[in-house]
Amino acid sequence: MKLVTWNTQWCRGLDGEVSTRRIVEGARSMADFDVLCLQEIASGYDRMPGAPGDQPAELRALLPGFRLFFGAAVEEFDREGRRQRFGNLIATRLPVSLVRHHPLPWPPEPTVSTMPRMCTAVTLTSPELGTVRVMTTHLEYYSSVQRRAQAQALRALHIEACAQAAAPPAAAFDDSPFQPKHHTQQAILCGDFNMEASDPAHAEIQQPFTAPSLPAGGAPDQRLQDAWPLAHPERPHDPTFRLFDKTYGNNPAAFDFVFISDTLAPRVRRMEVDLQTRASDHQPVLIELGD
């Protein structure tokens, strides 16, 4: 299974042009992806630089054969009452059984400008991997307090999903919202985490927990782990931010990560960063998992 994750900066390149087509073409140049996870997708914010249009609709037209799931972290209305949305999107050509949109913590931080954040989770079935929960997110940039709370919440969401998979709700009321769900302990968490690997929140996401399928002490601890060292144990993360655009600092850094559950760790085959494209202020990341 091939997955590309990319913070698109509302599909605005370093040349100032907003183009959803360029983003899709850039992702396709990396791989014939099965899953595409995009952050900073906009709709209705006509006053933002480049005047992005209805980007979820544009991406749907550009990705025939894919189903798209857009999660708005921000949904509001301008002075004229026009709807505005900003958030994350997952597109996949694989069968999907469950979609959830999770608001993340937004504790008060009056000294800086912040906005709501969220995580979209899509449970899908891969021929190579079986049932996998793909989660994509975009954490707060300006507040380390909020970012760490959000990282803790992402880990908690994974633990809860693992517990559901180990002890699913009673099967009843078929053909209703109570019908059985596809739960899985296999997960991929990706996106723009707005931090370097040295940030405490990066370690927070990877904190181990006791496997929920057995009593405490009955199984090795599980965790979400950064996939990059599995693919490239010999070198640090390739940079994904500040490579070309120096607006937020001069030193290139990795801000975009892919975390995977332990069961998927042996399945990592390849991981790459496109270090050439300037279609966004971030670089896209590819991960390939399989037998």
pLDDT of the residue at 182: 86
Can you tell me the mean pLDDT for 210-228?
73
Domains of the chain by residue range: 2-289
CA distances from 56 to 10, 68, 228 (A): 11, 8, 29
For 2-56, give the DSSP string.
EEEEEE-TTTB-TTS-B-HHHHHHHHHHH---SEEEEEEEEES-TTSTT----HH
Q: Is the pLDDT of residue 52 over 60?
A: yes
Regarding the domain delimited by 2-289, which CATH topology (the fold level of the hierarchy) does it fall under?
Deoxyribonuclease I; Chain A (3.60.10)
Give the C-alpha separation, 140 to 11, whole Å. 19
Q: What is the DSSP letter of 64?
A: T
One-letter amino acid of 249: G
pLDDT tens sequence across 279-291: 999 999 999 999 8
pLDDT of the residue at 212: 66
Percentage helix, strand, coil, to 5, in the chain? 20, 35, 45
CA distances from 4 to 35, 39, 83, 265, 288 (A): 6, 11, 29, 17, 9
Q: What is the DSSP letter of 231?
A: H
pLDDT tens sequence across 5-41: 999 999 999 999 999 999 999 999 999 999 999 999 9
Q: pTM of the full predicted structure? A: 0.95
Nearest C-alpha neighbor of 145 from the set 120, 176, 111: 111
pLDDT tens sequence across 144-188: 999 999 999 999 999 999 999 988 888 777 788 888 888 899 999
Q: Is the pLDDT of residue 110 over 90?
A: yes
Cβ-count burial 210-234 (b if 16+ within 10 Å, e if not): bbbeeeeeeeeebbbbbbbebeeee
Q: Which two tokens stand for residue 68?
A: 């798209």
Give the C-alpha separation, 87 to 98, whole Å. 19
Percentage of the chain exceeding pLDDT 90? 87
Q: Is the pLDDT of residue 215 over 80?
A: no
- How high does pLDDT run on average in the chain? 94
Nearest C-alpha neighbor of 210 from the set 264, 144, 163: 163
pLDDT of the residue at 214: 52
To which H or E segment does residue 136 belong?
strand 130-138
Q: Which two tokens stand for residue 100?
A: 């959830």
